[in-house]
Amino acid sequence: MDNKEKILGRGFKALRPEIEYADDVIAPPYDVLNSEEARALAEGKPFSFLHISKPEIDLPKDISADDPLVYRQGLENLESMIKKNILVRDDKESLFVYKISTKDHSQTGIAFVASIEKNHYLFIRFRQKITVKLGLHLLPLLRRMKII
């Protein structure tokens, strides 16, 4: 086994909010809010990350969350925040360790770029399962961001 085969993952150049916008950008994870809660929380906050992670809030209320227009809106919102220098890319690749706590639970994790080859699934516990349909919608976004 050569060294390349031993590498499970690597760091990445993260997109982060500029310091002066950090309080405006910060938002709860997309999967803890429904669309209505996200819409209410982002009201009057044009730089909230919810416009990227829950982009249906910028579209008519009756749109399905998995409609391709939702993903397109999320990409437009992301590109706009990058163009306005609200979000900027790190200069160097890094690994990120995080800890999330509530009154009943605490978890620690690490964020990095990993191979999706079948052999690596034995070693990585994914935070969420990504369906093929969702993956196909996310593919153009990941390519445009030069993640893949």
Question: Which H/E stretch holds residue 80?
Answer: helix 68-83
Q: Is the pLDDT of residue 140 over 90?
A: no
pLDDT of residue 16: 93
Pairwise CA distance, residues 47 & 45, whole Å: 6
Q: Where are the domains of the chain?
A: 3-144
Going by pLDDT thresholds of 50, 70 and 90, the confidence category of residue 119 is very low
pTM of the model: 0.72
pLDDT of residue 133: 57
More confident position, 85 or 30 = 85
Task: Convert the pLDDT of each residue in 58-74 to its tens digit.
Answer: 999 999 888 899 999 99
Question: Which H/E stretch holds residue 10?
Answer: strand 9-10
From the list 86, 87, 108, the residue with the least C-alpha distance to 13 is 87
What integer is the mean pLDDT of 31-45?
94
Annotate 135-147 with b (16+ C-beta within 10 A) or e (fewer): eebbeebeeeeee
